[in-house]
A = this chain, B = another copy of it.
Amino acid sequence: MWLRASCSLELGVSAPTPLLFMLRPRSGWHQWVAREEYLISPSVTAVEFTDPFGNLCQRLVAPVGDFSVHTTADIEAAEASDTAPGARLSEVQDLPEATLPFLLPSRYCESDLFTELAYQLGDGHALGYDQCAAIVQYIRDTTRYAPGSGQDIITAVDVNERSEAVCRDMAHLGIALCRALSIPARMVVGYLATLVPMDLHAWFEAYVGGRWYTFDPTQSNLNGGRVAIAYGRDAADVAIYTQFGAAVELKSMNVGVVQLLDPPS
């Protein structure tokens, strides 16, 4: 399916401030970017680089005043995310090297503190995909998805003690629990065509059965129409923008996804 996804940020800048953005979805195995636009106003020199996770990042210094970034992309995305009940655990010794960093604890996913709970949840399930599914079910059973409820990013330990959370938080808990079972898990930030209310979305992927699979604690079925913007260990790696210093204020963010009836031509 073809989607037009857009994200507009309006920032107020009170002192020149370095910013890192991650707002350029890239073409890969799961999506193809046919057309895109990345407009910066006022125009300043921006430099793009690839981070250790393969994300395209943009670096610039925002000048004082109103500053806006507007991105749009026409992207072919899968009709639905693959599922694979029964897919087996990839043993640590057989994992591709690139997946190994996603086994370690990270800022918001203290997997080292979840060993007991993870084993309890995984118990009785085939090692691998089914354990991940059980983890997702646990999160849904214990945490209510409350879009807009979470301003500050909290860690998986905190999420686990609350009864409601946002998509990012629930993904963190899922990631921490998978890693505690020696299953590589990574954060995905992106667009989801069917999201209500529309916003950027966060979910996670787990590496089982020899590849990455999508898991989404906040969505009851694995809708397609997903566009990945960035992958990372957790939200610390995939902020759509990171500011250095306190002189930038987010005035508004608008996210839109529409389905295109025809491929771009």
B58 engages A27 (CB within 8 Å): yes
Shortest CB distance A166–B (Å): 17
Shortest CB distance A143–B (Å): 22
A33 adjacent to chain B (CB < 8 Å): yes
Q: 15 A-B contacts, Cβ less than 8 Å apart?
A: A20-B92, A28-B49, A29-B47, A32-B48, A33-B48, A35-B38, A36-B36, A37-B264, A39-B264, A51-B101, A92-B244, A104-B236, A105-B107, A107-B110, A112-B153
Complex Cα gap A104–B106 (Å): 11
B41 engages A28 (CB within 8 Å): no
For window 41-75 of A, CB contacts with B under 8 Å fall at 41, 43, 45-52, 54, 58-61
Name the contact of A27 in the complex, choosing from B47, B100, B245 (C-beta under 8 A).
Answer: B47
B182 engages A244 (CB within 8 Å): yes
Closest B residue to A58 using CB positions:
B27
Point out the residues of chain B lying under 8 angstroms from A265, CB to CB. Answer: 39, 41
A33 engages B27 (CB within 8 Å): no
A237 adjacent to chain B (CB < 8 Å): yes
For window 175-195 of A, CB contacts with B under 8 Å fall at 182
B35 engages A48 (CB within 8 Å): no
Complex Cα gap A244–B119 (Å): 13
Complex Cα gap A41–B34 (Å): 11
Point out the residues of chain B lying under 8 angstroms from A34, CB to CB. Answer: 37-40
